[in-house]
Amino acid sequence: MSTAPLLCEGRVVIVTGAGRGLGRAHALAYAAEGARVVVNDLGVGLDGTPGPGSPARQVAEEIRAAGGEAVAHGGDIATTEGAASLVRTALETYGRLDTLVNNAGFLRDRMLVNLDEDDWDAVMRVHLKGHFLPLRHAAAHWRAEARAGRTPRARVVNTSSGAGLLGSVGQGNYSAAKAGIIGLTLVAAAEMGRYGVQVNAIAPAARTRMTEDAFAGTMAAPDSPGAFDAMAPENVSPLVVWLGSDACAGVTGRVFEAEGGRITVMEGWRPGPSADKGAHRSPSEAGDTALKLLAAAEVPGAVYGAQ
């Protein structure tokens, strides 16, 4: 009886924020498909402050106990040294790097009028800068490999959110950071394709420490044994593993929404109704034209939490 080959056999994968929730599920799923995994987690609380223990080490031990290969990394990937150390750990431990999954993040939710500068900066730092710096260091390695004649089949999976696609009341900082991650994904895909790097993003919906308060009462696990738990983080990981494998050749610069058993290709900003007068308009004329175009345009999705 033949056994199907593992999807990520021989690949080396970095997963940031992999100590809990979605990141942990991704790390375990990659290991189950034959990948050697660098498990990164700073071990902080929901607000970004340090917490006890080492969740990265625990997940790495869990992978090894199941017969896989993994190494823990506890550096701060929102710093240049931490991000460089992360990539260096993969190269020094396993001799290569094939996939980067940017997943780390936390929340500091406030309504805009109560959102202070520290809350804004902290969320931007971890989510947006915490995506940029590991991507930058990984991309530099892959570019050097390509220029040396060893073009990689590299993959990057970034983590956005429905909040980045539609906005979310009380999460101005988080929504802006997650929208920025989509822009970063599109640019990286365009710039790095020539070096053998594919870059995509996911907007997951799952039950994690970050979402349990926001979706309280709607994300409980099913009571009956064996029932499908639509909000389990493990439901998102299969798509993330596929996007980080050779199997997704040719797929780049795309955003996928993943929730339960549903996968959606998200279609972002593109031209809708348009009118060109070919001459200068007065403000009143511009307003009349805008209203006519809006009447013919699709209604945007509702912002999460809007009344």
Reported as a single tens digit per residue, the pLDDT across 122-176 is 999 999 999 999 999 999 999 999 999 999 999 999 999 999 999 899 898 999 9
At 106, list the tokens.
């936390």
Q: What is the mean pLDDT of residues 40-50?
A: 66
pLDDT at 48: 47
State the pLDDT at residue 210. 53
Selecting among 174, 175, 195, 237, the annotated active-site residue is 174
Nearest to 23 by CA among 248, 286, 182, 204: 204
> Catalytic annotation on 94?
no
CB 35 within 8 A of CB 240: no
CA 93 distance to own-chain centroid? 24
Angstrom distance (rounded) from CA 202 to CA 80: 24
> From the candidates 85, 94, 160, 178, which is the catalytic residue?
178
User: Quick one: pLDDT band at residue 222, thresholds 50, 70, 90?
Assistant: low
Among 87, 103, 129, which residue's Cα sits nearest to residue 27? 103
Identify whether the C-beta of residue 158 lies closer than 8 Å to the C-beta of residue 184. Answer: yes
Does the pTM of the predicted model rise above 0.75?
yes
Is 161 a residue of the active site?
A: yes
Q: Which of 102, 77, 83, 197 shows the shortest CA–CA distance to 145?
A: 197
Query: Any idea what DSSP says for residue 81?
Result: H
Alpha carbon distance 137, 153 (integer Å)? 16
**Annotation marks residue 85 as catalytic:** no
- Picking from 232, 139, 245, the residue whose alpha carbon sits closest to that of residue 192 is 139
Instruction: Give residue 2's pLDDT.
Output: 47
CATH assignment of 12-266, given 3.40.50.720, 3.60.10.10, 3.40.50.1000, 3.40.50.2300?
3.40.50.720
Q: How much is the average pLDDT of 229-252?
A: 94
The one catalytic residue in 85, 160, 161, 237 is: 161
Q: How far apart are CA 119 and CA 199, in angstroms?
A: 29
* pLDDT reported for residue 221: 57
**pLDDT(217) > 60:** no
- pLDDT computed for residue 231 by the predictor: 79
